[in-house]
Amino acid sequence: MRKNIKYGVQFLLVFIIGSFMQSCKPIEPIVFKKLNEAKVKSISLDKGIDATINATIDNPNKMGVKIYGSALNVKINNIDLGLVKLDENIKIKAKGEHTIQFDIHGELPGISMGLLAQATQLAKSKDATVQVKGTITVGKFLFRRTIPVEVTSRVPIQK
């Protein structure tokens, strides 16, 4: 009787571990389809620029994932915001296209008065060309993957 229980527990354990391992297939890369809009919150010499960018992404995975980190170089109308980082992790739902919002902060490295005038003009304009290039880290539980990102879109600027 004890042998049957022992074999039953072993079988159950192997079944559970096998099921778990089979469901842990590699994370497919998410794809940035386009940038939808940008909102410039503030521009100053000492604080830099605060902006929000909305993007449409496609998650081909059957599970939701999180964006854990980023190293993104953002340019708006060829004004280099430098390397920007996400303020917090972003959850992405499973399977399909989703719109997500990135809150970004840049320091405007080596800014001159001419570049500041361009940045101020940008805040007044109706649309701009936004370029995002770099990498993001996407994952679920212990499984993570670094994905390259490169997208350029003409987007409306909200005030």
How far lies 76's CA from each of 28, 39, 88, 92, 121, in Å?
29, 11, 22, 25, 11
Q: Which residue, 61, 39, 65, 36, is CA-closest to 52?
A: 39
pLDDT of residue 104: 74
pLDDT of residue 62: 86
pLDDT of residue 58: 92
Beta bridge partners of 157: 38
Predicted TM-score of the model (pTM) = 0.68
How far lies 73's CA from each of 95, 148, 152, in Å?
27, 12, 12
What are the mean pLDDT values of the chain's consecutive 10-residue runs (159 residues total)?
A: 68 68 70 84 74 87 85 80 76 89 70 63 75 88 86 80
pLDDT of residue 73: 85
